[in-house]
Every structure is written in structure tokens, then in C-alpha cells.
Structure 1
Amino acid sequence: MKLTAAAAALATAMGAAPAWAQDTFVRIGSGVAGTYPIVGAKIADLINANIEGVHATTVAGGTEANFALMAQGEVDLLLTYSFLTPIVARGEGSLGVPTPQARHLMTLYGALFQPAATKGSGIASLAEVDDGEYRVWGANRTSIFYPMIVAALEAAGTSFEAIENAGGVIEEIGYGDEAGAMQDGRLDVGFFSGPAPYSLLMQVENEPGIVLLGLSDDEIAKYAEILPGVSAGTVPAGTYAGQEADVTVPYVSNELVVSADLDEELVYKITKVLVDNHKEFHGLFAGADEIAPAIMLRNAAVDVHPGAARYYDEAGIAAD
């Protein structure tokens, strides 16, 4: 949050005016693909429309890169998966940048982590990805998907090293290019996270077709040991063409994180605006209707920002 010296002096002189009342800029790390840019843009719109003197904008970039920007004071809020927040806060993420100021503002909605192989690859399970010279999407170490993919492979008894030892290739193209790479034959296996059906996966479903690579109960349990806070989710039969049975996959929670450095009263206002207008998110994409006050303190793996905590307490919203 930035505040001009003149504005700060004016606010102090006025006494009643909050410190953030004049030309305050709030920056939201909203990712580069999938649902995050949509959610980030809506959050910015709601803040701009409802909090006078505050100007919210979105910042595109990978999730861990946005955490690093928060550590530097260049991002005030960001979208992430709740399992990742404490890892990065401790400095144990791929970038090694501690973000101790990361605080929970609200849980938004869940996502199904959906591994998939192209229909013609012959792969029917994640355990088979090291059985041949397959091309597998591995994201990059700064991507939020990297720990999710590593956990999925480990739960299935394999790894990037095993894939490469079998003659396979780990691709690190961007998430937004993954579906296209599966369509044109550059990838045999990809990983997607979102609602079901998911728009990016539906592209591949149309051509060349997909096989969802579900996890067993034991594999889900192993996944949750590696990434605490993840649970089992279901992609119902018939969600994608040729899917004849329910498929079990990891279910993760999306979280809005706020910097501890952001003014308490401003965070209170932001929380109130987002809670009061939570139905504005509904219909933006499949799964967005999950956003509701009842889940906003669910899976909070770091401390709740005092401004948000004060609003939730006053509104009678508690963790379930």
C-alpha cells in the first residue's frame, strides 16, 4: 500500500480520516491463466466501486513470484492455494523467499486437481508415466503447480527423475500453453486445476481426447501427507467424453492472502466489501458459486489478518 506524504499529513490533520483515505493503491497478484485473473479482476472492481480513495489493480505473474513481490512490499493481496501459503511464508518455496507477512483474508472456492493423458498415449494411471518415453508437463519451480505435480507423482510411486530415466521428457511450458501442447502432440500428460468440467481440459477433450488419471484412496492419503490441507474430490462420471466412472482426484482450496503490512481498517473494509458482494463472483466460472461467507475461514493455514478477523467476529462468521 502506498500513501503520499501530503495525503498522510492531511489525514493526520483531519483526525477522523483513516490513513488510507487518499489515493491508496492496492495491488492484487492474480496469476496468469485459469480462474485467478478472473477472480482478481472482480476483486479489484469491487474494491474500486465500494471503497472511496482506494485504487485496486491486478498484477500478472506466477504465484510464488507474487509472494516474493509481497515480501518486497510490491503486492498487497494475492491468490493462491491454502496449502502453499505456510510453505512460502517459511521460505521453503521454490524461490526461497520468506513471506512472514502473509495473512489469511478469506477462502474463496475449491479446485479439483485433474491429471490427464491424451487419449492416444495409452496411459491409464499416473504410475504408468515412467513406463515409456512420455512427454509430461512439469510446470516450473516457481509455479504453484510444481509442488502439486511432484506430490501427485510421489503418491503414485514415481517422479520426474523416473520419467527422465525411462527416456521421457519433462516440459516446463506455461500453464496457458499446456492444453495446446496436448492438442498438437507435444505433451502426453498434463495437470489442470479448476472446476469440472474445466475449460482448458475441454479443449483437449475435443481433440485428441483425454483420459483422467485418478488417484486411489491410498494415493490421496499420501498426497495429503505431502501437502496438508488437501482432501479427496470427485469428477463425476460423464463429465468428459468417454469418462464412464467417477474419478477421484485431489481437492484444494483457493485462498486470498493479504499482507500484514496493509492497514487494519482498510483490510476490514475490503473484507466487508467482498463478503457483502460475494454473489458477484457467482456465475463467473464453474465452481465460483462456492464462494460464500460460511467457508471463508476454512483451511486457513496462517493467521487471519486482524482487520479481517475483526469483521468476521462482528459478522458472526467462524471457522467450520
Structure 2
Amino acid sequence: MFKNFCSIALTSVLAVAATSATAQDIVFSGVSPTSDDYQLGVVWSGIAREAGISMTVVENGTVSGMRKAAQGEIDMVGVGAPHYLDAVGGTGKYTDDPEAFRDGYKGMKAILAMPVGMAQYVARTDTGIMSFTDLEGKTVGTGRPGGNAGKVTATLFDIHGIGGKVDGQAIKYGPAMEQMASGTMDATLVWGSLPNAVIDNASRQMDLRFVSPDPKTLKKFRSTISNGDYYVYQKIPAASIETAYEGRVEAKGDAYFWTFPYQVMARGEIDDDTIYNLTKALWENIDKVNAASAGLSLITLESALEAISGDLHPGAMRYYKEIGLL
């Protein structure tokens, strides 16, 4: 069925390739109404309206959103930095996409990067685990069996000098939290945004703290894992943790979660002035964006271009050059 859809879609791609969105009608695609990118779109649409630009926010998921962007059905979409390379190269979840879709992906340009899904390590406070190296000799959940998070976690154990010295358990984080509550597991990896519902619920049953990889290991981390150039250690301010969990998760200092940027991209056909005005409006109102949710509070100008895998949209580039970021 999908191949039939792709064949039919080729005609649609060619039909819309020459069209471009005007400043009056931008369609922003988010993963779901509860996702950080969708929430960004909602706040951004209000800001854009004040700048004279109409932005509609729709729900599509990431892969579907990318395909709709390639066909010109939507104008802006978020995608993980490594996954954008999959789309362009026809790998991963984009293996069966037709060449016309890949041409559409190649034409997309980045506007900014934002943290969305992040790998965060959380431990019971009664275990004495304060730093990543303290995981030595402990039982630690490393994510679902066969998942990439487990492979990355094993790499982190190695570069922190505790490889082979941790009782790593391949387990989903829901059951891992249950084992932590029963005292049979000391810490676990959890994937998600801030706040995370699983951690929030667990914090009502036991005292927790985040355990961070050493920021000084980032260079080695990037050189060791696949597509490492597009991974970052996302800094989570202690104040954000305090706010997100209302004091139930220890926040004596900033935490670091590993992740890859989720880059907001636009079809290359959208005119430079529109993207310039959207970018300018966003950053001039970033306080409003940051105040919308704990997840959106992590969007900063300092990390806006970090580890992006696509080319910048000329309109966004113009703004970043104006303010001296480039």
C-alpha cells in the first residue's frame, strides 16, 4: 500500500514543487498536541500573528510530517538531526521513499535546533550515586532491549572508565522504575522531555536525583558513537528541574542529558523574508516561549544552531548574522 501511495505521490510532488508559501499562510507540523515541537508551534503562531504572519499548527508525527513537507502540503516541520540525514540518504524509516521525496528533503532548510527527547539518568538518593562514575557496581536500567539508548549508555560507561563494572539491565524504563521502588535497581535511563511523566510519578514514591555524564567527556563521546557530531550534552538548569518536579527531584546543581537536536526546518521554497521575520519574531519573544512550559524553557539562542545537520535557511541565516551569532 505504501509503495502505491509513493507512486501516486510522485505526481503531487512535481505539481507543488514550484509553489511557495506566502507570509499569510504558513503551516507548521508538530508530532502531537502534547509534544514540545507542537507546543512551540502554538506559541510561535501567536507571536507570528502579531508580526503579521498567519501560522496554522497541525499534527502529523515526524516521518509523516517530513513526507508532507516534501510534497509541499506543509511548510515547517521538526526532525532529529541524524534522522534528517536518513531522510536525505533514503535510510532508516525513509528507505522506501521515492527519489522525488528525497529531492524535497534536500531542499529543506533549518531555522533552529531545540531539545525534545533526551536521555536522562535518574537514581534513588539512598544509593549514594552522585556522579556518573558512582554507577560502578550498581544495577542500572539501560533502556529497552536492542535499543540505541543501551548502546550509547554502554559507550558512556566505557568513556567514564566504568565499562564492564556496571550491572546494566536492558529494560524499559517503566518496569525499571518499579524495580527502583522495590529496591532491586539503583538507577535507570529514561527517555523524554522535561518534565517526564514516569519520573514525575516515581518521585511521589521515592527520593530521586539526576546523574549526569561528565561534560568534559563530550568530545570523546562524539568521536566514539555513530553520527556523534550531531549529539550534545543538553544542560538542564537546576531551576528548571525544581520547577518541573515541584521540588520532588533533587536539584542541587545543573544536570546534563545526552540527546541530538530536533531541528525545525522549512521548505526551501518559502521566501527569505518570511523566514527572517518568523525567526526574528521568535527570538525577540523568547521569554514568552520559555515561559510556556518546562520543555520550552530549554530553548536558548546559545544552542539554537548546535549540531544542526541541515543547511540554514537564508532567511534565518540573515537574522543570525545580524545579531552576531554567525
Give TM class, smaller chain: 0.5 to 0.7
1:59 equivalenced with 2:65 (yes/no)? no
> 2:169 & 2:301 partners in 1: Cα distance?
45
Q: Counterpart of 1:46?
A: 47
Match of 1:268 among 266, 276, 283: 276
The 8 Å contact of residues 113 and 252 in structure 1, kept in 2 or not, is answered as: no
- C-alpha deviations, 1:78-103, integer Å up to 9, x for none? 23444543444333444435432331
* Residue 319 in structure 1 maps to residue 319 in structure 2: no
Deviation per residue, 1:211-244 (Å, 9 max, x gap):
6454356864453232214344566789664678
CA distance in 2, matches of 1:36, 1:138: 24
Partner of 2:315: 307
Taking a change above 3 Å as real, the CA distance of residues 181 and 170 of structure 1, as seen in their structure-2 partners, is closer
Tell me the alpha carbon deviations over residues 139-172 of structure 1, each in whole angstroms, 9 at most, x when there is no partner.
Answer: 99xxxxx655643344436xxxxxxxx996655x
Structure 2, unpaired ranges of 5+: 1-19, 159-166, 243-247
- 1:177-192 aligned at under 5 Å gives the runs 189-192=188-191
Q: Which residue of 1 aligns with 2:204?
A: 206
Aligned equivalent of 1:3: none
Task: Report the equivalent of 1:114.
Answer: 120
Change in 2 beyond 3 A, CA 1:90/1:31: farther
For residues 284 and 254 of structure 2, the distance between their equivalents in structure 1, rounded to whole angstroms, comes to 36
Are the equivalent residues in 1 in contact too, given 2:21–2:75 (CA < 8 A)? no
Asked if the contact 2:222–2:229 (Cα under 8 Å) also holds between the matched residues in 1, the reply is yes
Gaps of at least 5 residues in structure 1 are: 1-17, 141-145, 158-165, 172-177
SS in 1 for 2:106: coil
SS at match of 1:228: helix
User: Aligned in 2, Cα 1:90/1:117: closer, same or farther, shift over 3 Å?
Assistant: farther
Number of equivalent positions: 280
- Distance in 2, matches of 1:233 and 1:307, equals 26
Number of the residue aligned with 1:8 = none
Instruction: Work out whether residues 85 and 102 of structure 1, in 8 Å CA contact, stay in contact via their aligned partners in 2.
Output: no
Shift, 1:264, TM fit: 3.4
1:71 matched to 2:79: no
The 5-angstrom pairing of residues 75-86 of structure 1 reads 75-86=74-85
Change (3 A) 1:72 1:137: farther
1:12-41 superposed Cα distances (whole Å, 9 cap, x missing partner): xxxxxx97266x351322446453332122
TM-score when normalising by structure 1: 0.62
CA deviations on 1:195-220 (whole Å, 9 max, x unpaired) are 5xx34323322235546454356864
Residue in structure 2 matched with residue 28 of structure 1 by the alignment: 29
TM-score by length of 2: 0.61
Q: Quick one: structure 1 residues 21 and 39, their matched pair in 2 at CA, closer, same or farther if it must change by over 3 Å?
A: closer
Partner of 1:286: 294
Cα offset for 1:114?
0.7
Distance 1:87 1:223 in 2: 21
CA–CA distance in structure 2, aligned partners of residues 209 and 122 of structure 1: 12
Judging changes above 3 Å, is the alpha-carbon distance between structure 1 residues 135 and 115 closer, same or farther for their aligned structure 2 residues? closer
In structure 1, the residue matched to 2:213 is 215
Task: Measure how far apart 1:281 and its partner are.
Answer: 0.4
> What's 2:106 paired with?
100
Query: Contact 2:22/2:270 (CA < 8 Å) preserved in 1?
Result: no
Closer/same/farther in 2, CA of residues 121 and 77 from structure 1, 3 Å limit: farther
Retained in 1: the 8 A contact 2:119–2:189? no
Q: Distance in 2 between matches of 1:283 and 1:235?
A: 15
Supply the distance in 2 between the matched residues of 1:282 and 1:256 (Cα, whole angstroms).
16
- Whole-Å Cα distance in 1 between the matches of residues 305 and 205 of structure 2? 40
Distance 1:186 1:60 in 2: 35
Aligned residues of 1:32 and 1:60 also touching (Cα < 8 A)? no
Structure 1 residues 19 and 207: alpha-carbon distance in aligned structure 2, compared to 1, 3 A threshold: closer
Q: CA RMSD in A?
A: 4.8
Q: Which has the higher helix share?
A: 2
